[in-house]
Chain A
């Protein structure tokens, strides 16, 4: 079974600065997808960014980018120019791309609570 580990229970960053959230995962599969979800105090789960394992290029979405290291099984999220609205729990998630595995749900890490200091 796949596991996702987020080793930072909480991170704090000054507004406008850059912060990196860590995520490692364990899998024996070669094809899979990785995601970062944001959960603000409203509890709504919001997709931030996603990465296909077969793509070497790191995904970028505006101020959010990832550093995907397949060999190291690492998938970190970088938030540039942090804003107060970025304060939330951030969850790293894994999903198999194998036939039939696509029917499985997401495997989540325990989350990182991101605090933005004004």
Chain B
């Protein structure tokens, strides 16, 4: 158990819908990263938040957005969902945005029908 929690574990929805994935980092970790793992694209970095502020964007679509709240939990919002958005979404946390290990959560499996 990495100490990072993600909810829900599984999510099934339809095209065009909007979903929110939630991540709670390890106690004391200020950085939250979101990753997408799909068969087509592999593991891709989406976005990084540090202590409530956006720090870096990776291959995140405009239909996707994220935020980190004062209690440091983070939410990834996916809208206008397409079949190709079906993937495993991981969040990871670390103490700082440095060499510190990123601890991964168990992931949320999103299926878009």
Q: List chain A positions with a Cβ less than 8 A from chain B.
A: 33, 42-47, 50, 52, 91, 95, 97, 100, 102-111
Contacts and interface: CB of A to CB of B under 8 A. Distances in A.
B58 A105 contact: yes
A44 B43 CA distance: 13
B97 A44 contact: no
Interface of B: 2, 33, 35, 42-48, 50, 55-56, 58, 88, 90, 92, 97-99, 101-102, 104, 106-107
Contacts, number: 54
A37 to B, nearest CB: 8
Secondary structure type dominating chain B contacts: strand
A48 B51 CA distance: 27
Contacts of B50: 103
Nearest to A95: B99
Given A105-B35, A105-B58, A43 B42 contact: no
A50 B99 contact: yes
Tell me which of B43, B55, B97, B102 has the highest count of chain A C-beta atoms within 10 A of its own C-beta: B43
Contact of A102 (B42, B47, B97, B106): B97
By Cβ-Cβ distance, the 6 closest A-B pairs, closest first, are A105-B45, A45-B104, A103-B55, A108-B43, A103-B56, A102-B97
Contacts of A33: 99
Nearest to A45: B104
27 contacts: A43-B107, A44-B2, A45-B90, A45-B104, A47-B101, A47-B102, A50-B99, A52-B99, A91-B43, A97-B99, A102-B98, A103-B48, A103-B50, A103-B55, A103-B56, A103-B97, A104-B56, A104-B58, A105-B47, A105-B48, A105-B58, A106-B43, A106-B45, A106-B102, A107-B45, A108-B42, A108-B43
B99 A45 contact: no
Nearest to A110: B42
A2 to B, nearest CB: 11
B92 A45 contact: yes
